[in-house]
Amino acid sequence: MTSRTPRVAPFRRFPAFVLSAGVSIALALSPAGCDRSAEAGRAVARAGGKRVCVIGCDGMDPKLVRRMIDEGRLPNLARLEKEGGFKPLETSIPPQSPVAWSNFITGAGPGVHGIFDFIHRDPTRQASPYFSTNRIISAEEKPPIKVGDYEIPQEMVLPWVKGAENELLRRGTPFWDFLDERGIPIQMYKLPANYPPSESKHDHMCCLAGMGVPDAFGSQGIYQQFSTRPRREVKASDGYKLRLAPDKESGAYAAKIWGPPNELVKKHPDLFVEMKVYPDPQKPVAKIVYVNKGLTGDETVELVLNVGQVSDWSEIHFLKTPVGPGMRVMARFLLQRVRPDVEIYMTPLNFVPDAPEAVISEPPEFAAEIAEAIGPYHTQGFAEAFNARKHQLLSDEEYRIQSDNVLRESEKMMEYALDRFQEGVLFFYYSSTDLQAHIFWWDSDDKHPARPPEDAKKYMGVVEEAYIRMDKALARCREKLGEDTTYIVMSDHGFCNFRRCVGLCTWLRNEGYLVADRGVLVDADWSKSKAYGLGLNGLYVNLKGREKLGIVDPSERDALLKEISEKLLALKDPETGRNVVRRVYRADECYKGPEAKNAPDLIIGYERDYRASWNTCLGEFDKEVVFDNDNPWSADHCIAHDVVPGIVLSNRKINSSAPALVDMAPTLLAEFGIEKPDYMTGGSIFAESKDQVAARSGR
C-alpha cells in the first residue's frame, strides 16, 4: 500500500446525532442485530444447522507456514492439514490485497469485479489517480442555507435533498448475496474491499467493513506527531508533524489536534481542539490535557502516560457550530519521550463505532453492537501505523507495540463473533499477518535495508509470533464451535523480501515512451508520451480515443505493448545482473469480463526481491531505475503472482489440485448446496471438476 494514496472523503448518510439515536433505538429493540427481519427465524431451518468458519489471514505465506508446521510450532494448523489438507492458494493478478480479496468475494477475476490495483486512473481526466475501491458521489448542486458565518448544506435539514454518497466500486455479485437470498446467515468481521458495506437484501448478512474504511479526514490514515523539535509544521497527505510550543503561563507545551475541514463554516476552516502537555521535570511521565466542547458543557480529558505507554481509546469532540452536535472521533496517544525533547504520537482519528460519521457496517447498527460488547475498537481499515514507521517517526519497537494492540483488539472481537455465531458462514479477517510482515519480514541472510542482522532476525520473530497466534485463533474456534463445523484457514497472497526498487516511470522516460521533467501528474508532455506508469503494477498506453490526450493509434497498440514487454523482461539489475521483471501480463489476455476495459494495458510482475518504487505509484520519477530500498517497509507481495501464492487449509479434504482464490466463493456456496453462477470462474476446492480445471487459464 503506498503511503500517498488519493484521499477518500468519509460520508455520513445522516448527521452523527441522528445515526447515534437510530443505533440506540435499534439496539434497544433488537438484541441480536443480524436477525433483523420477520423471516430471520427461517434462516435456522434453511442453513440446516451447518456451520462454515473461515479465518482470513492477510499475507500468510505458505513457505513460512510449512516450515513452522514442520518445526511443531503450529499444531492446530498441522492438525488441519492431516484432516483435510494444506495447499498453496493461487493469488490474483496482481497480488494486491484489494484485488485478491475481490477475487475471493466474487469468485471471479478483475475483469468481473473491476479492481486492478490500489490506485486506478481516470482516462477522461488524463491519468488522474483515485483510490480503487470506493469514491464519493457529490451531493446535489444546491446552495447552502446561510446563517451568519455558517453555511448549512440543504441535505442536512431537508430530507428530500440528496446528499453526497460513498460508492463501492467493486463490481460483480458477492457470494453472500446467494446465501442471503436463501436465508443462510453470514457474519463477516473486518472484511476488506467492501466499504461502504454492500446491502443485505434479505436481512441475513452482517458485515463490519475493514480495509478501505477511511479515517475522519477521509484518508487511509493521517497520523499526528507532536514534538518540541520542529520549527515549522508539516501537513502531508499521510501525516502531520506538529510543533509543541512552550506555554509560559502554565509551564506546559501547547498544540492543536487537527480535524477535517468544517463544512458548515464559510471557507471550510479545519476543525481543531487545543491540547496542552505537562512533562514531569524528573520522571519519564507526561500529562496530556485537552477539552472536548459540547452543547451541555465542556469536558476536560486528562491522560497520564509513561514513556513508551499507549493510551486507551480517547474521544475527541470537534464543535462545528454553537448549536450543533459536532463531530465525535477517537484516537490513541503514545508518549515517545520527554527529554531532551517532548514527542507524542497520535493515531489517525478513527470513527467512534457507536456513532460513526460514515456507515461502516451492514446493518448500520452492527458496528455499535460490537462496541457495546467489547468496547471501542479501530474502525479505520488500515489500523496498523505503517506510515509512521515508514517515515521513521515510530521505532521498530513502537510499531511492534502498536500493531500488537491491533491484534489484541482483533482477538477480542473474534471472541464476540464466536459467542454469537450459531450457523451459516462466519468470516473473520486478521490484518496483522500482513502489516507486521511488511515491516518485519526478512527471511534471508542478505543485508537488511533498514536494520542490522541481529535485529532483522529478532523482528522476523514478531511475524512468526503472529502466525502462532493465528494457530491459537483456530484452536479457539474449534473449542467454541466444535467438530461439526467446516474450518477453512486462508490467505490472499504470500510474502517476500523487498530489497530493490524499480522506477518504472524513470525507465519509461529513459526509453523515450514518457516525456516529462518531474512526473506524470505534474508536467508530462502528452503530445509526445506513449505510455505511463501508475499504481503498484500498472502500465498504461496513452491511447487515442480512450485517454483524454491520447496519441497512440489503436492499430499501433499491440506492437507497442510487445516492444515494451520485451524490453522490461530483458531489464537487468546493474548491481546483481538479475532480471528485474519476471512476467509482463497483458490485461486483454488475462482478464475476462465487462470491467476488463478499465484495466491497465500491462500488469508488471516483478521478480522476487523487487517492487515498484514509491514514486512510481503516483507516476513520479526516481534518480535511478533500479536502486536499494532503504525504507523500513522491507517486504512486499506486489510482484509476479506465481511467486507469492496464499494458503488454504481445511478439515475437509481439499481435492482441488491447484486451488485458487476464485475457488473460495464457489466452495462456500457448494457447502450449502447452491450452484455457482456462470460468471464465477472457479469451483469448490473440495470437489475438483473439469470446469474448474478448464477455467484456470481465464483467471
Task: Report the SS3 class of residue 577.
Answer: coil
Q: Is 374 exposed, middle or buried (0-12, 13-18, 19+ CB in 10 A)?
A: middle
Q: Which residue has the cell 450452484?
A: 675
List pLDDT tens digits, range 518-554. 888 889 999 999 999 999 999 999 999 999 999 999 9
CB 536 within 8 A of CB 530: no
Which helix (DSSP H) or strand (DSSP E) does residue 692 occupy? helix 690-695
pLDDT score at 251: 83
Least confident of 158-162, 461-465, 563-567: 158-162
Calculate mean pLDDT across residues 128-136: 89
Q: Is the pLDDT of residue 344 over 60?
A: yes
Instruction: Give CA–CA dist 556/490, Å, rounded.
Output: 42
Mean predicted confidence (pLDDT) in 322-347: 93
Nearest to 451 by CA among 614, 251, 634, 300: 634
How far apart CA 173 and CA 517 sit, in angstroms, is 43
% of the chain exceeding 70 in pLDDT? 91
Q: How far is CA 286 from CA 245, 276, 289, 475, 671, in A?
A: 15, 10, 10, 41, 56
Mean pLDDT of 236-257: 91
Please determine, for residue 87, whether its predicted confidence score (pLDDT) is greater than 60: yes
Q: How far lies 153's CA from each of 158, 262, 318, in Å? A: 9, 12, 18
C-alpha–C-alpha distance, residues 357 and 213, integer Å: 11
Ranges 5-19, 59-73, 220-234, 507-521: which has the least confidence = 5-19
Lowest mean pLDDT segment, chosen from 198-202, 340-344, 516-520, 576-580: 516-520
Residues 435/403, Cβ–Cβ less than 8 Å: yes
Summarize pLDDT for 24-35 with one digit per residue, the tens.
333 333 434 555
pLDDT surpassing 60 at residue 646: yes
Q: What are phi and psi of 61, to 5 degrees?
A: -95, 135
Is 39's pLDDT higher than 60?
no
Q: What are the pLDDT digits (tens) for 374-383?
A: 999 999 999 9
C-alpha cell at 305: 502516560
Residue 169 cell numbers, joined: 466500486
Residue with the bigger pLDDT between 215 and 138: it is 215
**Residue ranges covered by each domain of the chain:** 16-133+169-217+352-495+644-676, 223-347, 499-643
Q: Is 183 left (phi over 0), alpha (psi -120 to 50) or beta?
A: left
Closest by Cα among 449, 371, 418, 480 to 609: 449
Looking at per-residue confidence, does 55 or 149 come out higher? Answer: 55
| Residues 57, 59: Cα–Cα separation, whole Å | 6
How far is 74 from 234, CA to CA, in rounded Å?
Answer: 45
What per-residue confidence (pLDDT) applies to 11?
Answer: 41
Q: What is the pLDDT of residue 695?
A: 54
Asked if pLDDT for residue 144 goes beyond 80, the answer is no
Q: How confident is the model at residue 295 (pLDDT cuts 50, 70, 90)?
A: low
Between 456 and 5, the higher pLDDT residue:
456
C-beta of residue 195 within 8 angstroms of C-beta of residue 133: yes
* Residue 370: C-alpha distances to residues 32, 176, 354, 432, 629 (Å): 11, 21, 9, 20, 40
**Angle (deg, nearest 10), helices 62-70 and 75-83:** 100
Residue 255, pLDDT above cutoff 50:
yes
**pLDDT reported for residue 487:** 99
pTM of the model: 0.91
Distance of CA 141 to the CA centre of its chain: 32
Per-residue pLDDT, 145: 74
Domain 16-133+169-217+352-495+644-676 in CATH 3.30.70.330? The answer is no
pLDDT at 513: 98
pLDDT above 70 (res 160): yes
Kindly state the average pLDDT of the residues 658-669: 98
pLDDT band at 52 (very low <50, low <70, confident <90, very high): very high
Q: Is the pLDDT of residue 207 over 90?
A: yes
Beta bridge partners of 329: 316, 351
In whole numbers, what is the pLDDT of the chain averaged over residues?
Answer: 90
Hey, what's the cell of 664?
Answer: 473460495
CB atoms within 10 A of CB 351: 27
* Arithmetic mean of pLDDT, 473-491: 98
Instruction: Write down the pLDDT at residue 694.
Output: 55
pLDDT at 125: 93
3-class secondary structure, 559: helix
pLDDT at 509 over 80: yes
Residue 481 C-beta-side C-alpha neighbours within 13 Å: 28
Amino acid 266: pLDDT? 83
Cis preceding-peptide flag for 196 (omega within 30 of 0): yes
pLDDT at 699 over 60: no
Calpha distance 210→558 (Å, rounded): 39
- Residues 628-644 have pLDDT tens digits of 999 999 999 999 999 99
List beta partners, residue 128. Answer: 122
How far is the C-alpha of 490 from the C-alpha of 668, rounded, in Å?
13
Report how far residue 208's alpha carbon sits from residue 371's, in angstroms, rounded to the nearest whole number: 11
- Mean pLDDT to the nearest integer, 674-684: 97
Dist CA 313 CA 441 (whole Å): 29
Q: What is the average pLDDT across 226-239?
A: 88
Domains 16-133+169-217+352-495+644-676 and 499-643 in one fold: no
Give the pLDDT score at 6.
Answer: 38
Q: In this predicted model, which residue has the larger pLDDT, 144 or 676? A: 676
- One DSSP character per residue, 369-399 reads HHHHHH-----SSS-S-HHHHHTTSS-HHHH
Q: Give the residue-averaged pLDDT of 360-365.
A: 98
Q: Which pLDDT band, with edges at 50, 70 and 90, does 270 fall under?
A: very high
Residue 88 pLDDT exceeds 70: yes
pLDDT of residue 635: 97
Entry field: residues in the chain: 699
Question: Are 227 and 244 contacting, i.e. CB atoms less than 8 angstroms apart?
Answer: yes
**Cis, bond preceding 677 (omega within 30 deg of 0):** no
CATH 3.30.420 assigned to 499-643? no
- Contacts of residue 320, defined as CB under 8 A and 6 or more positions apart, other chains included, come to 262, 264, 265, 271, 326, 327
What is the helix (H) or strand (E) element at residue 582, kind and residue range? strand 581-586
Instruction: List the one residue out of 488, 687, 671 whose CA is nearest residue 49.
Output: 671
Do 325 and 16 contact (CB within 8 A), yes or no? yes
Residue 689 has what pLDDT? 59
Residue found by looking up cell 498504461 in the block: 540
Contacts of 155 (CB under 8 A, 6+ apart): 139, 140, 142, 161, 162, 163, 164
pLDDT at residue 475 in the model: 99
Looking at residue 151, its amino acid is E
453 pLDDT band, cuts 50/70/90, is: confident
